[in-house]
Amino acid sequence: MSQLKHRLHEIIFEADSPAGKTFDLLLIVCILASVLVVMLDSVGSYQARFGRVFLTVEWVFTALFTIEYILRLYCVGKPWKYAFSFFGVVDLLSILPTYLSLFIPGTQYLLVIRTLRTIRIWRILKLAQYLHEWDYILKAMRASVRKIVVFLVVVVTLVVILGSAMYMIESEETGFTSIPRSIYWAIVTVTTVGYGDIAPRSDLGQMLAALAMILGYAIIAVPTGIVTVELGQARKEVSTQACPECSREGHDPDAKHCKFCGAQL
Amino acid sequence: MSQLKHRLHEIIFEADSPAGKTFDLLLIVCILASVLVVMLDSVGSYQARFGRVFLTVEWVFTALFTIEYILRLYCVGKPWKYAFSFFGVVDLLSILPTYLSLFIPGTQYLLVIRTLRTIRIWRILKLAQYLHEWDYILKAMRASVRKIVVFLVVVVTLVVILGSAMYMIESEETGFTSIPRSIYWAIVTVTTVGYGDIAPRSDLGQMLAALAMILGYAIIAVPTGIVTVELGQARKEVSTQACPECSREGHDPDAKHCKFCGAQL
Amino acid sequence: MSQLKHRLHEIIFEADSPAGKTFDLLLIVCILASVLVVMLDSVGSYQARFGRVFLTVEWVFTALFTIEYILRLYCVGKPWKYAFSFFGVVDLLSILPTYLSLFIPGTQYLLVIRTLRTIRIWRILKLAQYLHEWDYILKAMRASVRKIVVFLVVVVTLVVILGSAMYMIESEETGFTSIPRSIYWAIVTVTTVGYGDIAPRSDLGQMLAALAMILGYAIIAVPTGIVTVELGQARKEVSTQACPECSREGHDPDAKHCKFCGAQL
Amino acid sequence: MSQLKHRLHEIIFEADSPAGKTFDLLLIVCILASVLVVMLDSVGSYQARFGRVFLTVEWVFTALFTIEYILRLYCVGKPWKYAFSFFGVVDLLSILPTYLSLFIPGTQYLLVIRTLRTIRIWRILKLAQYLHEWDYILKAMRASVRKIVVFLVVVVTLVVILGSAMYMIESEETGFTSIPRSIYWAIVTVTTVGYGDIAPRSDLGQMLAALAMILGYAIIAVPTGIVTVELGQARKEVSTQACPECSREGHDPDAKHCKFCGAQL
């Protein structure tokens, strides 16, 4: 029994053995296929023609994912810990909406929750051994997060004031019907998305908008700079040897002595 | 008396004590709520239904901010210095428009000035101890400012010439009705915002626009590069203590021993 | 015979001799001219007036490219290896569509395949000795590829969920007619392209869109950071000769003496 | 006489003396004012009302610039060298169109050439002593130019193929009327400008466009990375001491020996 559990764990949770790799590959194909079905199901013409097929396929995938979820709960060491982990919740959210659709008629909203199962493909990173790269990006993002928060506070303030000013300057006909909508315009502009559904038409409005864009041109550089510097830092730290005495890492490439205990590297 | 002053200063201006933190938190909630009210007040349908509520809430917040402003003036060491400091002026601008609206009928413009109080949430940075990150970004921005000014002078020249050329090439029907408007288009294009409210339709115009975009693609790199380099520089300088033995610099912020000779820092 | 082959190889495949340079230059002019003809041929008014001229010119270029292709096959050491190499296939695809158009009436699709011959101008890099720069960029791109894949997996997931949510929130009239189309909108938004053909109009939709843009503002920084760091790394590695005396690395490409001990490199 | 010449040169060409600074400042005010007049002159309603005033002001400025141009020719050491230098040509182009408008009736085109005088404000950089920053950016741009050319060749190829494919996929009604226009769309998309005047509407077209955007998301990183690395390099080189023996610069911050002659720094 315990051996079966161990074997299952190896197949389902790990990707080192051939069986584990095959399982992960099959799983990812199933996930992508099921997300594709959800997508196609939302297209009116396909829904009309293949609605029944989609429903059947959806139930087959749900059955498969349910079996997988139960097996995961069964073979994992601490079932509750898995159940409340990020991937545990996502796994549950992948199957729940289909069952709920039996009791709740409006399946519209449940359809959307089903697409959350796309997140499950992040497991592909484990398969392709991209976890190292994932850690690298995550590390840099974590180091950047406080600086980017500061930056965002500044941008939000700027966008609120810019939006309010445009609400005052532009007439309602051009789309600036309220301050929240004007702030929406300001965000669309400063992030250089620029839909054009709302655009200033008065001379003063266009002047202010032009100023905002040129400033935004310089502002867009800040988060890029922050992340680049932290990525550069994270890359340096990745490739360094551990100290032979205190075993701590993070030494510079040109370091000759451990920066923590002073021992020779 | 002096003790009350001191205690008030601690609560209102500092964020080290629990009372100070609570005050700052309450203040920020009030600021955000009052800005939200100003925003909702500008939406036609809400204004029609809740206009009276908004007015009452606005007066309550104004009263609170007025008391806060007076207390700040009272407990600070040099009241005039505070009154003319950046935050002092912003604090005053947060309450003045509401009082002025009693005498001046057109509240439209005053509505907008009220959103300036959003700037007050920058105090949140003090609360969350993000001041270090703020200094870091500010340092890099200050080091970049001269280089970005040079860059902007070049971009402005480019945009004026590009706009003028397009005014000549494109007919008035496509939106290029004057040189200032064509320059507005050029700015919208070079910054990659691209509303599409004005867009070239002639062959020559589209060719020139395409050229401008591809060039702009390379140009956008310059401010990003400048800020990135300065951010990298600022990050390095954060911790430039020299080794007391070999006098070499470039140690990490967490270093305890010189990485070159192993001496204690 | 073998000497003719050798001489031809020198002219056609290499760019060191004056004849080789002239050949490459002529070839690039021909390629650009033939691509220009394909382009102009697709413009209705030009096609009506100069259709016959375009056809003649196209056949002349095809004849020239065919001769060139045969000569390449003839003079290269291993003809099969060339035929199945990247440039070999592109060279064949440059002439095949014109011949096929004799047998297949709908030339529309063949027209487009002809533009693939644009790729052949990459040979210009050999001529202008830009191969070093090409290698440099390629090296950095190769080092970035795994990190960017991880990043893209995250972005794709984000875009699928964002698109699905908007499909749920926005009504069909505003263009969000299906999940795939909503995902298309999400991609247009997160990449800051922002056509505006589909744009949220409801309050909730605009709020979510604004959030997506501000997040995207920080996200866009990641690939830029990755590539920048790798380009910086590639630039450093270009010249990593170690000092023969002190064995230390990190010398500049133009260094003649070790910057640490002064020994000759 | 020679002393007058010398004095004039000091005032007109240099910005060290108070008189020189005042002259440069006045000149820049005149340039900006005259460009403003050209801009306003192109606005229909202003032209109708103030056309005569604009004409008078334009002639006054032209007279002033003519005197300035003659004085420059007079006091400079080598008049011909100045006349054919970049700024010499720009200075001439600033006055020529107004005189030509006496003989040629269609002043439309001449109006535009007049805006070229905006380039003259680059002289402001000399005044504000921003030349160092200008050199810094220029140096990095020069070092980047070959790499960016390689990058542009790749982007151009990509854009041609993408445009041709979209021309094939999309029907003419959506704006993809010819290959050149489709290439224009491709450039608008890949550079993330995204006007939306031409946008794919078919499923396949939107899929290809989405792919192009996500790829473009990674591609946009390359020129930014190149320029950032070169700016970082240029910054390093700026701050280094010259070798006491061979006087050459460009040593690394941690260098102890000259990398050219091996002497101690």
Query: If 0-12 CB within 10 Å is exposed, 13-18 middle and 19+ buried, where does residue C73 land?
Result: middle
Mind listing the pLDDT tens digit for each residue in B244-264? 667 666 666 556 677 667 677
Residue of A258, D225, C206, D102 whose CA lies nearest to B263: A258
Q: Considering only alpha carbons, which residue of chain A is nearest residue C183?
A: A39
Q: Considering only alpha carbons, which residue of chain D is nearest residue C47?
A: D178
Q: Sorting pLDDT into bands at 50, 70 and 90, what band is A251?
A: low
Of A237-241, B98-102, B185-189, D137-141, the range with the lowest mean pLDDT is: A237-241
**Residue that is written with structure tokens 């056609």 in the block:** C12
- Cβ D206–C184 below 8 Å, yes or no? yes
- Cβ C180–A42 below 8 Å, yes or no? yes
When pLDDT is averaged across residues B71-91 and rounded to a whole number, the result is 89
CB-based contact D228:D147 (threshold 8 Å): no
Is the per-residue pLDDT at D238 higher than 70?
no
Mind listing the pLDDT tens digit for each residue in A156-194? 899 999 999 999 888 888 889 989 999 999 999 998 888
- Chains in contact with C, where contact means 3 or more Cβ–Cβ distances below 8 Å, are A, B, D
Nearest chain A CA: its distance from C252 CA (Å): 16
CA D224/CA D246 separation, integer angstroms:
35
Residues of D in contact with A193 (CB under 8 A): 194
Supply φ then ψ for residue C185, to 5 degrees.
-60, -45
Percentages (nearest 5) of helix, strand, coil residues in chain A = 75, 0, 25
- Cβ C229–A227 below 8 Å, yes or no? no
**Residue that is written with structure tokens 């070499």 in the block:** B248
Nearest chain D CA: its distance from C218 CA (Å): 13
CA B68/CA B79 separation, integer angstroms:
13
Count CB neighbours of A141 within 10 A.
19
Residue B206 sits at the vertex; the CA angle it makes with B205 and B209, to the nearest 5 degrees, is 85
Residues of A in contact with C210 (CB under 8 A): 183-184, 187-188
CA C9/CA C23 separation, integer angstroms:
11
DSSP class per residue in C124-193: HHHHTT-HHHHHHHHHHHHHHHHHHHHHHHHHHHHHHHHHHHHHHHS-GGGT--SHHHHHHHHHHHHTT-
CA A210/CA A205 separation, integer angstroms:
9
When pLDDT is averaged across residues B84-108 and rounded to a whole number, the result is 84
> Which amino acid is present at B228?
T
In A47-151, beta strands by DSSP E: none
Nearest chain A CA: its distance from C245 CA (Å): 17
Q: Sorting pLDDT into bands at 50, 70 and 90, what band is D243?
A: low
Q: Sorting pLDDT into bands at 50, 70 and 90, what band is C160?
A: very high
Which tokens sit at B46?
A: 């809400």
Mind listing the pLDDT tens digit for each residue in C104-144? 776 567 777 888 888 888 877 776 678 788 888 888 888 88
Q: Sorting pLDDT into bands at 50, 70 and 90, what band is C255?
A: low
Instruction: Give the C-alpha distances (Å, rounded to integers) separating A175 from A184, B5, B72.
Output: 11, 50, 41
Determine what percent of chain B is predicted with pLDDT higher than 70.
Answer: 88
Instruction: Give the C-alpha distances (Å, rounded to integers) separating C222 from A215, C210, D218.
Output: 21, 20, 9
- Cβ B193–A213 below 8 Å, yes or no? yes
C-alpha dihedral sign at A92, A2, A29, A123 = positive
Residue of C33, C23, C91, C41 whose CA lies nearest to C61: C33
Minimal Cβ distance to B157: which of D121, D140, D232: D121
Determine what percent of chain D is predicted with pLDDT higher than 70.
Answer: 88
Count CB neighbours of D221 within 10 A.
30
Is the per-residue pLDDT at B90 higher than 60?
yes
Task: Compute and round to an integer the Cα radius of gyration of chain C.
Answer: 26
When pLDDT is averaged across residues C219-247 and rounded to a whole number, the result is 77
Supply φ then ψ for residue C101, to 5 degrees.
-65, -15
- Cβ B229–D224 below 8 Å, yes or no? no
Minimal Cβ distance to D222: which of C40, C43, C137: C137
Residues of B in contact with C196 (CB under 8 A): 195-196
Q: Sorting pLDDT into bands at 50, 70 and 90, what band is A147?
A: confident
B45 in contact with chain C, both atoms CB, cutoff 8 A: no
Residues of B in contact with A192 (CB under 8 A): 191-194
Scored b (16 or more CB within 10 A) or e, B180-206 reads bbbbbbbbbbbbbbbbbbbbbeeeebb
pLDDT for position D70: 93
Residue of C223, C199, C221, C220 whose CA lies nearest to C210: C199
Residues of A in contact with B199 (CB under 8 A): none
pLDDT for position D209: 94
Mind listing the pLDDT tens digit for each residue in C30-74? 999 999 998 998 888 888 999 899 989 999 999 999 999 999 999
Minimal Cβ distance to A194: which of D194, D224, D254: D194
> Which amino acid is present at D154?
V
CB-based contact B34:B44 (threshold 8 Å): no
C-alpha dihedral sign at C87, C90, C92, C95 = negative
**Looking at residue A259, what DSSP letter applies?**
T
CB-based contact B147:D136 (threshold 8 Å): yes
Q: For testing the chain C interface, which of A58, A115, A150 should be mutated: the one with the most C CBs within 10 Å?
A: A115
- Cβ C195–B196 below 8 Å, yes or no? yes
Q: How many CB pairs under 8 A join A and B?
A: 186
Minimal Cβ distance to A228: which of C150, C194, C229: C229
Residues of D in contact with A254 (CB under 8 A): 254
pLDDT for position B63: 94
Domain ranges for chain A, please list them.
Answer: 3-126, 134-234
D191 in contact with chain A, both atoms CB, cutoff 8 A: no
- Cβ A192–B192 below 8 Å, yes or no? yes
**Looking at residue C252, what DSSP letter applies?**
-
B105 in contact with chain C, both atoms CB, cutoff 8 A: no
Nearest chain A CA: its distance from B202 CA (Å): 21
Residues of C in contact with D258 (CB under 8 A): 257, 259, 262
> Which amino acid is present at C158?
L
- Cβ C112–D167 below 8 Å, yes or no? yes
Supply φ then ψ for residue A264, to 5 degrees.
-70, 140
CATH superfamily for D3-126 is: Voltage-gated potassium channels. Chain C (1.20.120.350)
Mind listing the pLDDT tens digit for each residue in D20-42? 888 888 998 999 999 999 898 88
Mind listing the pLDDT tens digit for each residue in A22-80? 888 899 899 999 999 989 888 888 889 998 999 899 999 999 999 999 999 988 888 89
CA A31/CA B76 separation, integer angstroms:
62
Minimal Cβ distance to C146: which of A40, A133, A228: A133
Alpha helical stretches, state H, chain C: 2-13, 18-41, 44-75, 79-83, 86-103, 108-114, 123-127, 131-169, 179-190, 203-219, 221-237
Beta carbons within 8 Å of C229's beta carbon, 6+ residues apart: A228, A231, A232, A235
B147 in contact with chain D, both atoms CB, cutoff 8 A: yes
CB-based contact C196:A197 (threshold 8 Å): yes
A232 in contact with chain C, both atoms CB, cutoff 8 A: yes
When pLDDT is averaged across residues D192-213 and rounded to a whole number, the result is 91
Is the per-residue pLDDT at A240 higher than 70?
no
Q: Interhelix angle for B203-219 vs D179-190, to 10°?
A: 30
Give the D window 53-92 contacts with C, CB below 8 Å: none
A262 in contact with chain B, both atoms CB, cutoff 8 A: yes
- Cβ C218–A230 below 8 Å, yes or no? no
Q: Considering only alpha carbons, which residue of chain C is nearest residue B43?
A: C203
Q: How many CB pairs under 8 A join B and C?
A: 9
Residues of A in contact with D196 (CB under 8 A): 195-196
Q: Considering only alpha carbons, which residue of chain B is nearest residue A233?
A: B232
Of A252-256, B24-28, B198-202, D108-112, the range with the lowest mean pLDDT is: A252-256
Nearest chain D CA: its distance from A135 CA (Å): 20
CB-based contact C13:C72 (threshold 8 Å): yes
Q: Sorting pLDDT into bands at 50, 70 and 90, what band is A114?
A: confident
Mind listing the pLDDT tens digit for each residue in B7-54? 888 888 887 788 888 898 899 899 999 999 988 888 888 889 998 999
**Looking at residue C241, what DSSP letter applies?**
P
- Cβ B255–A259 below 8 Å, yes or no? yes
D137 in contact with chain C, both atoms CB, cutoff 8 A: no
Of A128-132, B17-21, B115-119, the range with the lowest mean pLDDT is: A128-132
- Cβ B197–A196 below 8 Å, yes or no? yes
Residues of B in contact with D44 (CB under 8 A): 177-178
Residues of A in contact with D195 (CB under 8 A): 196
pLDDT for position D1: 62
Residue of D88, B237, D188, C213 whose CA lies nearest to A220: C213
Instruction: Give the C-alpha distances (Å, rounded to integers) separating A194 from A53, C99, C105, C167.
Output: 40, 45, 43, 21
Interface predicted TM-score (ipTM)? 0.86
CB-based contact B161:B182 (threshold 8 Å): no
Residues of A in contact with C220 (CB under 8 A): 220, 223-224
SS3 of chain B:
CHHHHHHHHHHHHCCCCHHHHHHHHHHHHHHHHHHHHHHHHCCHHHHHHHHHHHHHHHHHHHHHHHHHHHHHHHHCCCHHHHHCCHHHHHHHHHHHHHHHHHHCCCCHHHHHHHHHHHHHHHHHHHHCCCHHHHHHHHHHHHHHHHHHHHHHHHHHHHHHHHHHHHHHHCCHHHCCCCHHHHHHHHHHHHCCCCCCCCCCCCHHHHHHHHHHHHHHHHHCHHHHHHHHHHHHHHHHHCCCCCCCCCCCCCCCCCCCECCCCCCEC
Residue of B96, B91, B59, B95 whose CA lies nearest to B72: B91
Count CB neighbours of D225 within 10 A.
33
Mean pLDDT (chain C) is 84
pTM over 0.80, yes/no: yes
- Cβ A196–B191 below 8 Å, yes or no? no
Which tokens sit at D217?
A: 């998301």
Nearest chain D CA: its distance from C67 CA (Å): 24
**Looking at residue C259, what DSSP letter applies?**
T
CB-based contact A218:B153 (threshold 8 Å): no
pLDDT for position B186: 93
A250 in contact with chain C, both atoms CB, cutoff 8 A: no
Q: For testing the chain C interface, which of A116, A117, A152, A231 should be mutated: the one with the most C CBs within 10 Å?
A: A231
Residues of B in contact with A250 (CB under 8 A): 252, 254
Q: How many CB pairs under 8 A join A and C?
A: 144
pLDDT for position B253: 57
Is the per-residue pLDDT at C242 higher than 70?
no
How far the first Cα of chain C sits from its last, in Å, is: 47
Residue D201 parent element (H or E) = none
CA D175/CA D205 separation, integer angstroms:
12
CATH code for the part of the protein at D134-234: 1.10.287.70
How far the first Cα of chain D sits from its last, in Å, is: 49
